[in-house]
Amino acid sequence: MGMNIAEKILAAHTKTPEFRPGDIIKVSVDVALANDITAPIAIQAFGSSGLTRLPDPDRVVFVLDHFTPNKDIASANQCKLVRDFARQQGISRFFDGGEAGVEHALLPEKGLVVPGDLVIGADSHTCTYGALGAFATGVGSTDLAAAMMTGQAWMKVPQTMKFVFDGELRPWVGGKDLILYLIGKIGVDGALYRVMEMEGPGIDALEVSDRLSMSNMAIEAGAKAGIMAPDEKTEAYVKPRATRPYTLYASDPDAVYESTTIFDCADIEPQVAFPHLPENSRGISEVGEVAIDQVVIGSCTNGRIEDLRVASRIMKGNRVAKGLRCLILPATPLVFRQAVSEGLIGVFLDAGAIVGPPTCGPCLGGHMGILAKGEKGLATTNRNFVGRMGDTGSEVYLSGPAVAAASAVTGRISAPQEVLP
């Protein structure tokens, strides 16, 4: 019986000779990741273990991206704890200040995750790296601490669901639209503790940035991981960045799946997820009149240079609607630098947008873009739960960068063609 991509990667990282979905196996971990919210808990667990030194500090990656630049005294103390630990343990893959970016955009950009890896991170959106052909999943901080100390983790082998995107993409439809459409069809628990393997002509047509957006939101369907077979585009992205050798896995023709679902891309227009769940998605033609107070373009879902290019195409020559706040947050310092050199930052500033540093802040209602009671925000982020971006009396809508940019210009949720000549 054949194996799918996820099973092949797990098999390459375990000494268990045979396993099946539902089995508990011990796996070796290539990358153990944490941020300024989750790393302190893992560090405290490490301190309670009796160990004084990390056996393999190069396996560990810390990125201070949620409350930095330090929002307040509490976040400053948390970040100091992480900084001190990283220095004491000789963690070379520690990113802070002007070197830090949104973690799930930064690691692929730096070549720290490669195809065939097994990655765990104390952040639910660690599943992002599945777009590169890695098995990547979020865990709790204590599980991360164990991996930091042993290089291993216990894992229940998940079932795999296959999703095929057939046909050609419609104008302005990107990875964010495909994944919102998918989640809208199966619900936020439709892939609970499953691997979502995504393929088809619609996926093939996407650039790596859009694929990363899709795997990023696999967790919003409850998935353990969201994975795609690496192809020529993947290798063109990875090869000049990779910091170590990698393995390209593909599912066998007779691989077993729990289910297979086929979507016709002709049915998928730009999507908007209404409050208060990502599954509340609908096509832009079904949105109606929804006035908004704030637009955020950024995050680990849509803060890459390709996303900013899309937004710039729509905002160039236009102005942000009166009374609306539009925040542009490049996901990494390199993305920021590229946006400057390509003139995108000038376009955003000319339009009246606010350009900020790489940060996760607004996405989780942390800082730099919090909504007040009664306000409505449209964001290229990944979650729109009650109170996600601020007051529990606020509302969050989700979209891709094209709809977000157009909406910033009109002051209401709008299709890109509404503002283009």
**What domains appear along the chain, each with residue ranges and CATH number?**
5-247+256-263 (3.30.499.10), 272-415 (3.30.499.10)
* pLDDT over 90 at 88, yes or no: yes
Tens of pLDDT, residues 135-189: 999 999 999 999 999 999 999 999 999 999 999 999 999 999 999 999 999 999 9
The three-class DSSP label of residue 180 is helix
Name the token pair of 334. 């390199």
CA distance 156 to 274: 33
The pLDDT of residue 1? 75
The pLDDT of residue 420? 85
CA distance 105 to 126: 10
pLDDT-derived band at 125 (thresholds 50, 70, 90) equals very high
CA distance 340 to 332: 12
Give yes or no for a cis peptide into 276 (omega within 30° of 0): yes
CA distance 69 to 31: 25
CA distance 165 to 274: 23
> Angle 103-107-112 (CA atoms, 0-180°, nearest 5)?
145
Mean pLDDT computed over 188-195: 96
Q: Please say whether the dihedral angle defined by the alpha carbons of residues 330, 333, 335 and 341, taken in this order, is positive or negative.
A: positive
DSSP class per residue in 381-399: SS---TTTTB-TT-EEEEE
pTM for this prediction: 0.95
Distances (CA, A) of 194 to 6, 35, 95, 141: 10, 25, 31, 21
pLDDT-derived band at 68 (thresholds 50, 70, 90) equals confident
